[in-house]
Amino acid sequence: MTQFIPRSSFQIPGTIPKTYFLGHHHAGANKIKTILPNISIVLECRDFRLPLSTQNPSLERAIAGRQRIVVYTKSDLGTDSTTARQTLKRIYGDNAVFWDKQQPATTTALLKRLKDSARAVDSLVGLRALVVGMPNVGKSTLLNSLRNVGIPGKVAKAAKTGDQAGVTRKIGTAVRIVPSEDKGGIRGGVFLMDSPGIFQPYVEDGETMIKVALAHGIKKGLIHDEILADYLLYTMNRRDPRLYSRYCEPTNDIDKFLTAVAKKDGKLSTGGVPNIPEASARVLSQWREGKLGRYVLDDLSESSILTHQANIEQPSQSMSQAKKRRKMERTQTREQT
């Protein structure tokens, strides 16, 4: 039997968008700047599966100098990547928190951090905190969990949530998540404000856009599901082809893989013809639920992290800058011919 050899690289289609920076992202970013003087601590949420790809350079600059906790959400979906937590802890130390909405203990631990900060501030009006991050990284879900644990009996959602980007479109009102505690030394309590997910103005790397789309970080349909499913096949093959063994033998052929998924899970059109779009959607749903492996998609090798940090310090050009560069290159080409 011929040994299976996975693809060594993934061909990024030219149709991949370079940004998802919308009007309410721009408005939200400006609003954040105006309220930061009244904020004592920032909770910056990132998807644990994409710890680098969901780090926004523009947000980094906006909140620079503020006390910050980096909250890695959906940490339960990356448990197969055994060294990821240690790597991120080396970067951020105690300011890196791994949160799982299914594990109340992680919410309680974060709440304790906020209470400790409130005691240190010792303000009559309480501590003001702000949650920020890229679209659909779990900011609103985090706020609701902190409120429900911090103030027992509050079962209604304080912030609207959803599995698509763009549910929150403006800065929310301050929500009390910890009451005043005279005995606990927390005067005024703790208030947390939600904010809209803010995308990067420009993303040079198409692979980053694909990974963010896999995590529902951009509008559904901007990148075809078949492309996302193909990228997942590529990553599963490099990690462990047995992740999809219930469907077929190891393969680099996305059509073969999706056909097998369609037949196995009943995604068929009239006449028993495999419905490839439905099979693609099925694959994405399975991965998002952790049923095709629970691993970190970003490369957390030292060289990759150093490259990423360099890009943070000198972010990719804006869309207008990119257009000017392409125009200049075309002009130079014409002059040389």
Which residues does the annotation place in the binding site for GTP?
136-141, 197
- Distance between CA atoms of residues 143 and 48, nearest Å: 17
Q: In what order do the strands lie in the sheet with 127-133?
A: 96-98, 67-73, 41-47, 127-133, 190-193, 175-178
Name the residue among 256, 259, 288 with its Cα closest to residue 272.
259
> CA-CA distances (angstroms) from residue 255 to 160, 275, 281?
38, 11, 14
Binding residues: 136-141, 197
Name the residue among 250, 154, 159, 234 with its Cα closest to residue 196.
159
Q: Which structure tokens are listed for 207?
A: 């692979």
Q: How many of the other CB atoms lie within 10 Å of CB of 266?
A: 11
